[in-house]
């Protein structure tokens, strides 16, 4: 699959994940939505399937709240929306806010889009440490009311060992050493 046209060079999250530079941490968070149609909720937003989506059901702004149990370093927030499939349901103006909780969220990015299929939000002072991220859909294309988002991924940088650089080993690499003697 080719890198989407709006992805800056060297910022393809899947490529960075394969090289061990970042890892996806969305599973470590508690997700909530301002509203959703039945069968189109958080599970569809996080299922790694671009054919499924979250569909809001209510007035704007539509919110996705992502809360971590501890302060977490976030390098990149990736949102996938597909204008060709969703037309007026596609977000055109998105705000990203971070903070410790709902009461002290600070806006770190506001973007207006005219039709790309994927959006990557590196925070302005990347990476940032936060307990909470809120993605707010402020407007849709063609003045649509409800919104579709197909995927949201959150990436953190992989920290190097303080002892030095070691090769990144997978479970398979350690299989021969797992026997206890």
pLDDT of residue 179: 54
pLDDT of residue 17: 78
pLDDT of residue 161: 45
Mean pLDDT of 137-151: 92
What do you get for the CA distance between the two ends of the chain, in Å? 46
Most confident option among 19-23, 88-92, 130-134: 130-134
pLDDT of residue 35: 95
**Average pLDDT over the chain, rounded to whole?**
82
Q: Which of 9-18, 73-82, 93-102 has the lowest mean pLDDT?
A: 9-18
| pLDDT tens digits for range 20-53 | 888 999 999 999 999 999 999 999 999 989 999 9
pLDDT of residue 9: 47
Please give the order of strands across the beta sheet that includes 22-24.
22-24, 151-157, 76-80, 118-121
């Amino acid at each position: 699959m080719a890198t989407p046209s709006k992805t800056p060079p060297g910022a393809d999250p899947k490529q960075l994940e394969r090289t061990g530079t970042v890892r996806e941490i969305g599973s470590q968070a508690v997700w909530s939505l301002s509203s959703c149609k039945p069968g189109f909720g958080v599970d569809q937003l996080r299922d790694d399937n671009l054919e499924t989506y979250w569909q809001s059901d209510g007035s704007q702004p539509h919110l996705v709240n992502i809360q971590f149990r501890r302060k977490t370093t976030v390098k990149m927030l990736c949102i996938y929306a597909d204008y060709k499939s969703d037309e007026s349901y596609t977000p055109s103006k998105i705000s990203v806010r971070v903070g410790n909780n709902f009461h002290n969220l600070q806006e770190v990015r506001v973007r207006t889009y005219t039709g790309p299929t994927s959006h990557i939000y590196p925070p302005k002072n990347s990476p940032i440490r936060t307990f909470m991220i809120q993605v707010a859909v402020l407007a849709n294309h063609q003045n649509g009311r409800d919104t579709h988002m197909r995927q949201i991924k959150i990436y953190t940088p992989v920290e190097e060992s303080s002892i030095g650089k070691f090769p990144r080993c997978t479970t398979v690499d350690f299989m021969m050493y797992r026997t206890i003697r």
